[in-house]
Structure 1
Amino acid sequence: MSQAKILWVDDEIESLQSQKIFLENKGYQVHTLTNGFDAIDYIKENVVDVVLIDESMPGITGLETLAKIKEVNGQIPVVLITKNETENLMNEAIGSQISDYLIKPVNPNQVWLSLKKIIDNRRLVAEKTTTAYQQQFRNLFMALNSSPDFNEWMGIYKELVHWELSLQRSDSPEMQEVFLTQKNEANSEFFKFISRNYLSWIKEKGGAKPVMSHTLIREKVLPVVEKGVSTFFVLIDNLRFDQWRTIMPIFLESYRLVEEDTFYSILPTATHYARNAIFAGMLPIDIEKKFPQQWKNDDEEGGKNLSEEEFFKAQLKSMGEDQLRTSYTKVLNNQAGLDLVNNVHNLLSNDLNVIVYNFVDMLSHARTEMEVLKELAGDEVSYRSITASWFEHSPLHQALKKIADKNVKIILATDHGSVRVKTPVKVIGDKQTTTNLRYKHGRNLNYDPKEVLAFREPKEGGLPSPTINSSYIFAGEDVFLCYPNNYNHYVNYYRNTFQHGGISLEEMIVPVIQLVSK
């Protein structure tokens, strides 16, 4: 590793020669100056890793020097060294984005520890993360191979997301490769688990089963609602658990985390099915029976999610909760988001406010269609990064910040996640077959039964039959379903895009988060 370059600025630098020698013996390259003006000029001309500045120097103070250095290069870490312990000075220093604060007289080990913390922090954390994952790898492997139930699967997926985000910072391509192999193996086992258990969750009245789309409001939202406190049920479309973890720090600036949980999206893990099931509180087959005019099958004309508010009100009524004061806001574009910011205070008089925010879904669909977004969201790391950047600057964040000082509760959830597809699988169907890449339904589907989960009787999976003899098939792991005609074109076009509708940890195990104002 090349020597880190330290600039030490102190008008009594002669008395610090022994400290300079100590740091040089530790492998640092130390340049010394006696005043702030020279330091600013030096920074303009030279690469420096850390600046140590004495606060009380003649001519220009340490804080003034710090401000000028930050103008030249805002990224350079600066350590302020001072005799003055007043709170005022500390506040000003911290507000000026110092990296550390040392009180004179400083001993050599103090300075060395501060430099180590700043310069070596990333490397030390990365090494510790890699070692910790290596130790945990075997535990995860054993968990995957011990027939986990639906609760244990939620734990395994949380654990995988934790390591994915930790290893992302470790800059170890070898360990990331090992992790990806383990995550792929987990998705392979999860596909088998869902294939074995899903239909029993749908068909059997009793028995242990997870919270799913159609039980989410009953199990996770209404128990939180109380009179006199405004609860906001915020559903961000297509938000994976790792994306939630990425935007969590932004939420925690304004809100306190009460519960971080997950639930299972129904199949297909697609907006049309999963989100309607959430708001209706019932499976798609029952929605079609109760609301034959409003339910639209994949192959029918018209919007598939136009009746959510009606479904929601009907669910409340069926549960005897229709006396609640509620609102329903759907945000499909930026203007609707700005309207929400302006109107959010007016919602505080309600018991329960539903906000459906469509941005992330638009991003993933556009990611498929637009070359620019293919560049921007080429993998999971960049997909998470775009989500965080979007949320931080979104009208949704502005709106939630505006009410953070009020007595409010937030339930944040989603309808389904998405998975990056890499492996094409051929499916043959007639003209009535749907075009989705992660699930299909139709009358004469021809496929390899080992490659997909098939519901030959849709009603067993809680799904309507658009036509007689319709069946549904679902892709697992990173598979995407392609027709034989123009096969290579579509394979190349869709490979490495984020899709949903099928069976993967990312699509099915999704966040439901409870927050309260601080």
Structure 2
Amino acid sequence: MIYKGHIIWVDDEVHHLKPHIMFLESKGYKVSSVTNGIDADSLNKKNRYDLVLLDQNMPGLDGIETLKKIKSHRESIPVVMITKSEDEWLMDEAISQQIQQFLIKPVSPNQVYIACKQILEKNRIIQDKTSADYLQDFQKINQDIDFISSPDAWWNLYLKLVKWQIKFEEHADLSLQNILADQIKTCNQLFTRYIEENYEHLINDKTQSLFSPAIFEKYAKPILEKKNKVCIIIIDCMRCDQFLSIYSHLDSLFNMDISYHLSLLPSATPYSRNAIFSGLYPDELIKRYPKQRDLFSNSSQGLNKYENELLIDQLSRLKMEDKKVHYHKIWALEEGKRFSKKINNLLDKDVLALVVNFVDMLAHDSSKMEVLKEIIPDDIGYRHTVKSWVKNSWFNDVLKQLSESNFEVIITSDHGSVKVNREVMVSADKDASSGVRYKYGRNLNTRSKNVIKIDEPQKYRLPAFGPQFNYLIAKNDSYFLYPNDAHKYKNKLLDSFQHGGVSMEEMLVPVIKMKGFK
């Protein structure tokens, strides 16, 4: 018989509970028993029990006093109180001491067994079930993946894989996590092939509203047409798995509905976020705004510094120029705190547009700072860091205030990021852009097959600045190096999170529509 744990049962009438103890022992538990709290406390200091079953009405120390002594020695030990008392004060006191369950006598052996099983075997049962369900899903995904032929189908597949990632953080063994990682890698290769073969058609299909330029019209405009207020929050560089890791927290504040959009290529802020605020593709953007053309052609800093103007112009084109707008970009902690304190003064606006750079800064700085590489060495570390930030920063205060307001909220990102580990050598002149996962300039070249080479930018709705102007877009988990300084930058960039290329993580971006409960 498999040993399932050691239980101590504390009850002054424990001699009447022999049938219960024998039943638990028949199920694989070792059960020790004592008749008073003093002995229970003494034994708890000498032995490591997995669970305490505790009566309330005992001579000497009562159940609550015994519970406090036991918890003072080992706070994490789970406790089930089993007593005749139905007093509500006792239930409240026991719950405040963080007991796991409260059972009212008389109880059957099976009731006690179920309580023990739920506490001591829960993780194993969930892990076994999770593993079995994933292996079944693994086979179905492998059968179906060759027949995926639409962005919607790719989103549904990716969402399913990400949900498995979240589940596996707590309830799967390392071997299954490795299987899932390999499956995601295979899916990414096929997704990349799909994008390579279909992107040109999708982006030029006027019946589609899949890409970054459609977000405001598709999600915010219907809200404004109903005379309601909308807040659109763009968390730069936030991925689907990071969104799902905070989903339960958001669910405590809002009713939610999740959808998606496709980031433009390159999957980078100058293209995708400008597209969200302007409602325009990059080739349209530079025609309408000559100053943007100058910034792009010179690979200048500040490619997104006109977002407020772009948004106001988009509202005008949508015949909503009468809407009162406030745009705010938050790039530092103190700025976020200031915004959270003044948001109540902005609730008279029709449109709040908020850009938050924390996640993007985290990705960029992880390639520069060794301490960040240790904090976010992988996807799990990245998710945990983002989740902790959302729950403990000024941003949580903003979400709480929005949930109590009349605003409907849309949270999305401009693109995601991917961990890179395969270098690709490229050749370019000194005026080429400096991106790690995408480059543009004149006569860019590479021999690698892990790159999409765009020699006719207009077919991808991208601007071209002169003859022989082209783009290189990294595929899967590759990143770009120049041969003359490859060693220097390889050590810096390897295993860092980057964006601009083609992967599910970068291009399949959640859109979460939220409304408070009031």
TM-score band w.r.t. shorter chain: over 0.9
Residue aligned with 2:276, SS: helix
CA distance in 2, matches of 1:73, 1:122: 20
Deviations 1:17-56 (A, max 9, x none): 3322332332222232333344344444432222222133
CA distance in 2, matches of 1:466, 1:35: 85
Letter in 2 for 1:170: H
* Structural mapping, 1:26-105, within 5 Å: 26-105=27-106
Question: Relative to 1, partners in 2 of residues 1:361 and 1:64: Cα closer, same or farther, differing over 3 Å?
Answer: farther
* Structural mapping, 1:59-458, within 5 Å: 59-206=60-207, 209-225=208-224, 229-257=228-256, 259-294=257-292, 296-297=295-296, 299-448=298-447, 450-458=449-457
Question: Is the Cα–Cα contact under 8 Å of residues 227 and 351 in structure 1 kept in the other structure?
Answer: no
Question: Is the Cα–Cα contact under 8 Å of residues 209 and 218 in structure 2 kept in the other structure?
Answer: no
Question: Is the Cα–Cα contact under 8 Å of residues 232 and 352 in structure 1 kept in the other structure?
Answer: yes
Question: Which has the higher mean CA deviation after the structures are superposed, 93-102 or 237-246?
Answer: 93-102
Residue aligned with 1:106, SS: coil
CA distance in 2, matches of 1:236, 1:67: 45
1:292 is displaced (CA, Å) by 1.6
Question: Is the Cα–Cα contact under 8 Å of residues 345 and 403 in structure 1 kept in the other structure?
Answer: no
Letter in 2 for 1:156: L
CA distance in 1, matches of 2:69, 2:435: 56
Letter in 1 for 2:481: C
Residue aligned with 1:424, SS: strand
Question: Is the Cα–Cα contact under 8 Å of residues 272 and 305 in structure 1 kept in the other structure?
Answer: yes
1:212 is displaced (CA, Å) by 1.0
Letter in 2 for 1:315: Q
Question: Is the Cα–Cα contact under 8 Å of residues 230 and 407 in structure 1 kept in the other structure?
Answer: yes
Residue aligned with 2:433, SS: coil
Normalised TM-score (structure 1): 0.94
Residue aligned with 1:486, SS: helix
CA distance in 1, matches of 2:408, 2:41: 49
Question: Relative to 1, partners in 2 of residues 1:63 and 1:272: Cα closer, same or farther, differing over 3 Å?
Answer: farther
CA distance in 2, matches of 1:406, 1:45: 55
Letter in 2 for 1:397: N
RMSD, aligned α-carbons: 2.1
Normalised TM-score (structure 2): 0.94
CA distance in 2, matches of 1:92, 1:260: 40
Deviations 1:167-201 (A, max 9, x none): 33233222222222211111111111111111122
Question: Which has the higher mean CA deviation after the structures are superposed, 284-293 or 69-78?
Answer: 69-78
CA distance in 2, matches of 1:442, 1:37: 79
Question: Is the Cα–Cα contact under 8 Å of residues 239 and 417 in structure 1 kept in the other structure?
Answer: yes
Question: Which has the higher mean CA deviation after the structures are superposed, 83-92 or 357-366?
Answer: 83-92
Deviations 1:102-142 (A, max 9, x none): 12112221111111111111111111111111111122112
Question: Which has the higher mean CA deviation after the structures are superposed, 181-190 or 56-65?
Answer: 56-65
Question: Is the Cα–Cα contact under 8 Å of residues 10 and 33 in structure 2 kept in the other structure?
Answer: yes
Residue aligned with 2:513, SS: strand
CA distance in 1, matches of 2:39, 2:351: 61
Paired position in structure 1 for 2:7: 6
Question: Is the Cα–Cα contact under 8 Å of residues 210 and 264 in structure 1 kept in the other structure?
Answer: no
Question: Relative to 1, partners in 2 of residues 1:32 and 1:335: Cα closer, same or farther, differing over 3 Å?
Answer: same
Deviations 1:482-516 (A, max 9, x none): 21123234323322111100000000001100111
In the alignment, structure 2 segments of 5+ residues that lack a partner are none
CA distance in 1, matches of 2:162, 2:429: 39
Question: Relative to 1, partners in 2 of residues 1:445 and 1:76: Cα closer, same or farther, differing over 3 Å?
Answer: same
Q: What is the identity percentage for the equivalent residue pairs of Structure 1 and Structure 2?
A: 37
Question: Is the Cα–Cα contact under 8 Å of residues 263 and 509 in structure 2 kept in the other structure?
Answer: yes
Letter in 2 for 1:389: S
Question: Is the Cα–Cα contact under 8 Å of residues 151 and 210 in structure 1 kept in the other structure?
Answer: no
Question: Is the Cα–Cα contact under 8 Å of residues 6 and 51 in structure 1 kept in the other structure?
Answer: yes
CA distance in 1, matches of 2:225, 2:9: 58
Question: Is the Cα–Cα contact under 8 Å of residues 298 and 434 in structure 1 kept in the other structure?
Answer: no
Question: Relative to 1, partners in 2 of residues 1:398 and 1:86: Cα closer, same or farther, differing over 3 Å?
Answer: same
Question: Which has the higher mean CA deviation after the structures are superposed, 5-14 or 69-78?
Answer: 69-78
1:474 is displaced (CA, Å) by 0.8
